[in-house]
Amino acid sequence: MNIDMQAVHETMQPKIRKRWARLFRAAYLTITIVGVVGVIAVTVPNLHRFFEGVFWFCFSFAALFFTAEYAARLYVAPFEPGRELNPHWQTRVIYARSTMGMIDLIAVLPAAGIVILGAHSSGAYLFGILWILKLLRYTPGWSTLLRVFQQAWEPLLSVFVAFIIVLLSAGTLLHALEQDVQPDKFGSIPDALWWAIVTLTTTGYGDVTPVTSLGRMISGVVMVCGIGVFALWAGILANAFAGEVRRRSFLRTWDMLTKVPLFQNLSAETIADISRVLKHRDVSDGSAVFYRGDRGDCMYFIVYGEIEVQMPTAPLVLSAGEFFGEMSLITGACRSATTRATKETLLLALDIADFRDIASRRPDLSLAVHEEARRRMGQGQAESGEGGT
């Protein structure tokens, strides 16, 4: 029983490369998108008439699916590897209070709506829009975004306070200036605030515009402040983003580097430098990494999977821990052989610019790659007369 539950848990995780996990993901995404599009379409009167029956079936199915999914995730949460030590209820609480746990709970709302509000109530339908949140589970980089806001909330908040101050001041001023001329549009501060937010965000519907000279001048100042708020937010987020991206890339590659034999003899400083610049590349089974004759601008390290170099005599098979494509970095020539993945493969790519930069500061990297390339070429020539890629 225990083992089954762990398999169920694993099947429902993203990034698992097994058959059932893929089927689950495909079903999950299809149901989410069909459900949301259905809810949108059913509100159009013409469409509503024609396929209400079909929609009702799909909607109920999706509501049921997401309810079952939430129950299943809650049940199998304790079977997550590395959390077995905890009491069962505690691991379930960890899942339930996580961001995705709450989104999964929200996705149960439409089902609850059907039960409470009745089957064909349009109110129940509208909750279906919330299923769109389910897409976040398979959105890469989502966690980076969240961390960016966590890191930068202080300056973002202070810009927001400045935004509110400008908003209220502008609304009050325009109320004072324009209430006699346009009593229907600037008669109260809440009315004037509608104008203020439309102007400060530079949206500019044009349903409310000032007509007095002074009102227009203040309006111009508000617009410029709006640009300033944009610019400040952009500046803050650009800064926070740069830090997070560096951090994430560094962490993702660090552990993998220890699996590459070439790096075993490098100094800790060189490894940290390389961690900062390596890029990930997923290659699906059967697709080419590069073709013979392509310009070469990076070398690759195999984290897992298998790569086949199509040499003239016999294909050369490389597996986890090995590297290829280094000849283009050293000699600058085009790729001399097409290279394909024969399994699902994860590669780490080292760009030529980063290679040269690091190699200039850390002679050990340069030495290790050159030595391996020389060794391989000697071997290749002994075997087939043309080695390296």
Binding track over 312-341 against a second copy, x by CB under 8 A: --------------------xxx-x-----
Output the CA torsion 234→237→242→246 (10° steps). Answer: -160
If binding is defined by CB under 8 A, does position 176 make contact with a second copy? yes
Contact 128, 62 (CB under 8 A): yes
- The least CB distance from residue 81 to a second copy, in Å, is 10
- The least CB distance from residue 19 to a second copy, in Å, is 26
Which helix (H) or strand (E) segment holds residue 223: the answer is: helix 213-257
If binding is defined by CB under 8 A, does position 242 make contact with a second copy? yes
If binding is defined by CB under 8 A, does position 268 make contact with a second copy? yes
Of 142-161, binders to a second copy (CB under 8 A) are 142, 144-145, 148, 151, 154-155, 157-159, 161
CA distance 362 to 277: 14
Q: 43: which DSSP letter?
A: T
356 sits in the region (left: phi over 0; alpha: psi -120 to 50; else beta) called alpha
> Given the complex with a second copy, which of 174 and 322 has the nearer CB atom?
174
Encoding tokens for residue 115? 């039960």
Q: Coil, helix or strand for 316? A: strand
Region of 172-180, 303-311, 316-324, 370-378 interacting with a second copy (CB under 8 A): 172-180
Binding track over 80-119 against a second copy, x by CB under 8 A: --xx-xx---xx--x-------------------------
Question: What residue ranges in the chain does DSSP mark as E strands?
Answer: 279-283, 288-290, 298-304, 306-309, 316-319, 323-324, 339-341, 345-351
Contact 62, 56 (CB under 8 A): no
Using CB under 8 A, pick the residue from 165, 181, 214, 317 that binds a second copy: 165
Q: 119: which DSSP letter?
A: T
- The least CB distance from residue 241 to a second copy, in Å, is 4
Using CB under 8 A, pick the residue from 116, 164, 181, 214 that binds a second copy: 164
Using CB under 8 A, pick the residue from 8, 12, 74, 198 that binds a second copy: 198
Instruction: Give the CA distances from residue 300 to residues 37, 89, 107, 311, in Å, rounded to whole numbers and listed in that order.
Output: 41, 44, 41, 17
> Given the complex with a second copy, which of 132 and 377 has the nearer CB atom?
132
If binding is defined by CB under 8 A, does position 212 make contact with a second copy? no
Using CB under 8 A, pick the residue from 36, 114, 283, 365 that binds a second copy: 36
Using CB under 8 A, pick the residue from 317, 353, 379, 381 that binds a second copy: 353
- The least CB distance from residue 148 to a second copy, in Å, is 8
If binding is defined by CB under 8 A, does position 2 make contact with a second copy? no
CA distance 217 to 170: 11
Of 358-377, binders to a second copy (CB under 8 A) are 359-361, 363
CA distance 335 to 294: 6
Q: In this structure, what are the phi and psi dihedrals at residue 325, rounded to the nearest 5 degrees? A: 85, 10
Region of 58-66, 109-117, 354-362, 373-381 interacting with a second copy (CB under 8 A): 354-362
- The least CB distance from residue 239 to a second copy, in Å, is 4
> Given the complex with a second copy, which of 24 and 142 has the nearer CB atom?
142
Contact 345, 305 (CB under 8 A): yes
The residue count for binding a second copy (CB under 8 A) is 116
- The least CB distance from residue 217 to a second copy, in Å, is 9
- The least CB distance from residue 35 to a second copy, in Å, is 12
Contact 355, 273 (CB under 8 A): no
Q: In this structure, what are the phi and psi dihedrals at residue 227, rounded to the nearest 5 degrees? A: -60, -40
- The least CB distance from residue 245 to a second copy, in Å, is 6
